[in-house]
């Protein structure tokens, strides 16, 4: 499989702010709890993130973002995090004369670079397949269209392979039983973003579910971007790829010359 979009290089972990986040959540939940009777008449769901920006710096090893909220009364919650979309080419390898080579391939458009679902219970237990498909909840309902409109029955085969690869990379995940209620109205979950998370604008959608249907929903944005030296290098590589390549070759040749001179001495 070949993924044409460039995934971020491994960069730094943000400082541990567990205590600060805990205070933030406590204050926010008390506020949301006090406002719940008022909010319930206009909107039955309110949710927010502990942070709306993830900064990828040198040595980044992944980070957590806490989502917390309140509902007018208890139900099931599903949280869907969708990353920036792009084109992906899936290739199938076949063996010929004892050698594995790329054979058939299929290109998909508008594929999320990151897709995570967190929920109070397994999705089949709280939503019918038709409802999941309508709201694009769950990996079986990710909207990704083949570039070739006449791809036919092979679409499912290549789509399954694509999803499996993204799961193995830690970029696609379904996590049932990870959204927890604190009482009857307040809920929270912890969303993990791995080191290889792609940069861009993310959408975090929260669904309130009762009797097998979505009764309220809310979306909020989240930005993931590179900062510091790694961010400047990434920007340079994206805006001037030819010059970046020449500089990389020059640096490699210089390091090789220095190493050769050192060993000769």
Check residue 111 and give its pLDDT.
Answer: 94
| pTM reported for the whole predicted model | 0.70
**Interatomic CA distance for residues 15 and 63, integer angstroms:** 9
For residues 111 and 86, the answer to whether their CB atoms sit within 8 Å is yes
More confident residue, 201 or 14: 201
126-177 per-position pLDDT tens digit: 999 999 999 999 998 998 878 775 566 678 888 888 999 999 999 999 999 9
Average pLDDT over residues 2-16: 40
- The domain spans of the chain are 18-226, 228-265
Closest CA to 224 of 11, 23, 79: 11
Strand partners, 96: 99
Average pLDDT over residues 180-189: 93
Closest CA to 208 of 198, 200, 199, 219: 219
- Name the pLDDT band for 198 (thresholds 50, 70, 90): very high
The 3-state DSSP class for residue 147 equals coil
Q: What values do phi and psi take at 219, rounded to 5?
A: -125, 150
Check residue 175 and give its pLDDT.
Answer: 94
**Interatomic CA distance for residues 247 and 241, integer angstroms:** 10
Which range is least confidently modeled, 16-20, 77-81, 163-167, 187-191? Answer: 16-20
- Name the pLDDT band for 252 (thresholds 50, 70, 90): low
**Interatomic CA distance for residues 179 and 119, integer angstroms:** 5
Q: Which two tokens stand for residue 230?
A: 């790694």
Longest dimension (CA), the chain: 80
The answer, yes or no, to whether residue 32 has pLDDT greater than 90, is no
**Interatomic CA distance for residues 55 and 210, integer angstroms:** 36
Instruction: Write the CB contacts of 42 (distance below 8 Å, at least 6 apart in sequence).
Output: none
105-135 per-position pLDDT tens digit: 788 999 999 999 999 999 999 999 999 999 9
207-237 per-position pLDDT tens digit: 999 999 999 999 999 999 987 555 445 554 5
Domain 18-226: what homologous superfamily?
A: Macroglobulin (MG2) domain (2.60.40.1930)
For residues 221 and 204, the answer to whether their CB atoms sit within 8 Å is yes
Check residue 243 and give its pLDDT.
Answer: 66
- Name the pLDDT band for 12 (thresholds 50, 70, 90): very low
83-93 per-position pLDDT tens digit: 999 999 888 76
For residues 189 and 173, the answer to whether their CB atoms sit within 8 Å is no
More confident residue, 117 or 7: 117
Integer CA distances (angstroms), 4 to 126, 136, 153, in order: 36, 24, 24
Q: Which residue has the tokens 């604008």?
A: 201
The 3-state DSSP class for residue 234 equals helix
The answer, yes or no, to whether residue 13 has pLDDT greater than 90, is no
Average pLDDT over residues 16-22: 49
Check residue 14 and give its pLDDT.
Answer: 44
Q: Which two tokens stand for residue 249?
A: 């070759």
Check residue 153 and give its pLDDT.
Answer: 67
33-80 per-position pLDDT tens digit: 444 443 343 458 999 999 999 999 888 999 999 999 999 988 999 999
Q: Which two tokens stand for residue 103?
A: 């054979």
Looking from the CA of 121 toward its CB, the CA atoms found within 13 Å total 10
Q: In what order do the strands lie in the sheet with 63-71?
A: 45-49, 63-71, 186-193, 180-182
């Amino acid at each position: 499989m070949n993924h044409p979009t460039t995934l971020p290089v491994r960069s730094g972990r943000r400082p541990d702010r567990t205590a600060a986040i805990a205070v933030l959540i406590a204050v926010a939940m008390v506020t949301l709890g006090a406002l719940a009777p008022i909010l319930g008449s206009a909107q039955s769901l309110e949710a927010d993130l502990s942070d709306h920006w993830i900064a990828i710096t040198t040595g980044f090893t992944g980070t957590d973002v806490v989502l917390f909220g309140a509902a007018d009364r208890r139900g099931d919650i599903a949280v869907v995090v969708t990353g920036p979309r792009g084109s992906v080419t899936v290739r199938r390898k076949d063996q010929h004369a004892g050698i594995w080579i790329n054979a058939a391939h299929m290109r998909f458009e508008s594929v999320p670079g990151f897709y995570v679902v967190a929920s109070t219970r397994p999705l089949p237990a709280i939503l019918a397949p038709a409802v999941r498909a309508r709201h694009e909840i769950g990996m079986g309902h990710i909207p990704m269209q083949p570039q070739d409109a006449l791809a036919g029955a092979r679409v499912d085969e290549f789509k399954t392979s694509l999803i499996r690869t993204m799961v193995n990379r830690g970029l696609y995940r379904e996590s049932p039983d990870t959204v927890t209620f604190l009482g009857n109205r307040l809920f929270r979950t912890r969303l993990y973003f791995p080191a290889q998370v792609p940069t861009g604008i993310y959408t975090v959608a929260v669904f309130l579910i009762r009797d097998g249907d979505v009764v309220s929903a809310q979306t909020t944005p989240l930005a993931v971007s590179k900062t510091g030296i790694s961010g400047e290098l990434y920007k340079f590589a994206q805006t001037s790829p030819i010059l970046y390549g020449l500089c990389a070759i020059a640096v490699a040749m210089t390091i090789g010359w220095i190493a050769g001179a050192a060993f000769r001495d």
